[in-house]
Structure 1
């Protein structure tokens, strides 16, 4: 399950940038052609964030469809499967999107104001 290692890397990257500040929301973009299973990331997120500043943070995942272009016939099409095939049957395609995995945003809990 490589999603556990990916989730740990995401959490580590966020903590590295935000330090001990409490995080209350994280939004990821995981393209449908990335080979990463969003449901597995959701499951691992709660495990990995326990006892960190991200504990209890809300995780939102956007899952954009893939975009590809056939190198043989030139057709551009939407692809939702990791095995990308053009309608003409050709597997020689260029993936133009939907293969990304990135942290889109992180929302921190506002600091309490001193009285």
Structure 2
């Protein structure tokens, strides 16, 4: 379950921001996971919930949004959005797609308490 490792990395990023910016608790954390990032949102949420007690994430509302991935289609020479590496082009049906993104997991929004 690599989501536990990812959750640890997210927690580290948030704790580093807390130390740098001087906040104590997080009210809301929104993450964005690209469709090709290999992240299972439910498993990542479970991992974050299990790591949160005793940290600045304890009691935080956590949202994980999965975003489509951009890919270049060699069939129609257009950038299209895909949800899987196995998808065909939604415009022309070609299977000759090259992903150009969608592998990232990033902190999109961090709303904090400063008390």
Bigger Cα Rg: 1
1:38 to 37, 41, 45: 41
8 Å Cα contact 1:34/1:82 also seen in 2: no
Paired residue secondary structure (2:98): strand
Q: Which shifted more, 38-47 or 75-84?
A: 75-84
8 Å Cα contact 2:87/2:95 also seen in 1: no
Change in CA separation of 1:82 and 1:4 when aligned onto 2, cut-off 3 Å: farther
Give CA deviations for 1:25-64 in whole Å, capped at 9, x if unaligned.
Answer: 1010111121111111111111011111111111011211
Give CA deviations for 1:38-95 in whole Å, capped at 9, x if unaligned.
Answer: 11111111101111111111101121112211235524332111435442233xx332
Superposition RMSD in Å: 1.9
2:113 to 102, 109, 113: 109
Any gaps of 5 or more consecutive residues in structure 1? Answer: none
The equivalent of 1:76 in structure 2 is 79
The equivalent of 1:95 in structure 2 is 99
Equivalent residues, number = 109
**What TM-score do the two structures reach when normalised by structure 1?**
0.81
Q: 1:99 & 1:76 partners in 2: Cα distance? A: 16
Any gaps of 5 or more consecutive residues in structure 2? Answer: none
